[in-house]
Amino acid sequence: MSNVSIDHPVVIHDLTVAYRDKPVLWDIELSIPPGKLVAIIGPNGAGKSTLIKAVLGLVPTVAGTVSLFGGSYRERRQMIGYVPQRSSVDWDFPTHALDVVMMGTYGQLGWFKRPGKAQRELALRCLEQVGMADFANRQISQLSGGQQQRVFLARALAQDAQLYFMDEPFVGVDAVTERAIVNLLRDLRARGKTVVCVHHDLDSAPEYFDWLVLLNVRLIAAGPFETTFTSENLRKTYGGTMGAAIKHIEHFEEDRLAISVQADTKRPNGH
């Protein structure tokens, strides 16, 4: 079994996080396979962001272990990229987009060393990848919400990681940015990276992601969308209050039927 934990980017065992005497995450057991786009979905207060923060060692845990590529977060830090919630920083900070992206290279640089030409060029390439090259010298407060989010993603790219954690990258962004993020996620997956996103929107989730973690303090279910995104699981995650969620499932199941029919008819003609 130890092979599994080295292959798997994230293996969480018995993880419990509490705020005073209130459990935020309760006995989470989770293993995420490599090369997947993973959505963490659950209602407000389900502990979605906390799960990411606990994995990254940003909040204290009560019990349990987290192993990333078979090692501790400290040991694997260079392999891991992090995109915090956009609202977690002060966008009036006196700096420009390129400078923010360059911050992604600081981890590799280590203490005291200053970023140089190589870091600058890498940051510019990352800005290009998210379609923000023209805004490199723009003061960050003058960017729209979507542009700010793309700057954050470019910064994660500059970290050049194998495993990415993103906290609600799709919240409050425009359609252009949403497309840009989706393309970026697919590009990362094509390069064998694993991306774990906290996600809110049940509508877009099956289209954007291929692996699902349903969370509500406890782990409800985890696995590929095909087997995990079921009305049964969603009801368990959201309780009885989520009639709308069930509707999403029905759509998804219809779509899946349609897609599998298409795929079946296409297959013989394929390569």
Partner 1 sequence: MSSAIVILLTGVLVAVACALLGAFLILRRMAMMVDAISHAILPGLVAGYFLAQGPDLLAGFAGAVLAAVLTVSLVEALQNTGRVGGESAIGIVFPAMFALGTFVVSKYFANVHLDADAILYGNIEFAAFDLLYINGVSLGPQSLWMMSGLCLMNLLFVGLLYKELKLATFDPGLAAALGFSPALIHYALMTVVSITTVGAFTAVGAILVVALFVVPAATAYLLTDRLPVMILLAVALGALSAVCGYAVAIVLDASVAGSIASTTGVLFGLAFLFAPQHGLVARARRLQRQRLEFAVQTLLVHLLNHEQSAEQQAESAYSHLSGELRWHPPFARRVTDAAKRATLLQQHGDMLNLTEAGRAEAEAARATDLQR
Q: By CB under 8 A, name the binding residues for partner 1.
A: 53, 56-58, 74, 77, 80, 82, 84, 88-90, 93-96, 100, 103, 106-107, 109-115, 139, 141, 155, 159
Neighbouring CB atoms inside 10 A of 19's CB total 10
> Minimum distance from CB of 110 to partner 1 (Å)?
8
Q: How many CA atoms lie within 13 A of 15 on its CB side?
A: 29
Q: Which residues of 20-49 are buried (b: 16+ CB within 10 A; e: fewer)?
A: eeeebbbebebebeeebbbbbbbbeebbbb
Check: CB of residue 197 under 8 Å from CB of residue 209: yes
89/154 Cα distance (integer angstroms): 16
**CB 82, min distance to partner 1, A:** 4
Nearer to partner 1, 13 or 138 (CB): 138
Collapsing DSSP states into helix, strand and coil, what is residue 113? Answer: coil
Q: Rounded distance, CA 60 to CA 38, Å?
A: 24
- Pick 74 or 271: Cβ nearer partner 1: 74
* Residue 236 beta carbon to partner 1: minimum distance, rounded to whole angstroms: 31
CA-derived radius of gyration, the chain? 19
- Cβ closer to partner 1: 111 or 268? 111
Report the residue number, 93 or 239, with the smaller CB distance to partner 1.
93
Spatial separation of the C-alpha atoms in residues 10 and 63, rounded to whole Å: 17
**Cβ 162 to partner 1 shortest distance, Å:** 15
Residue 261 CB coordination number (10 Å): 10
Q: How far is the CB of 127 from partner 1 (least distance, A)?
A: 17
Residue 221 Cβ, how far from partner 1 at the closest point, in Å?
28
- Which residue in the block uniquely carries the two structure tokens 């090369």? 35
What type of residue is 53? K
DSSP 148-160: HHHHHHHHHHHT-
* Element of type H or E holding 261: helix 243-266
Nearer Cβ to partner 1 (47/84): 84
Rounded to a whole number of angstroms, the minimum distance from the CB of residue 94 to partner 1 is: 5
Residue closer to partner 1 by CB (options 83, 181) is: 83
Nearer to partner 1, 94 or 243 (CB): 94
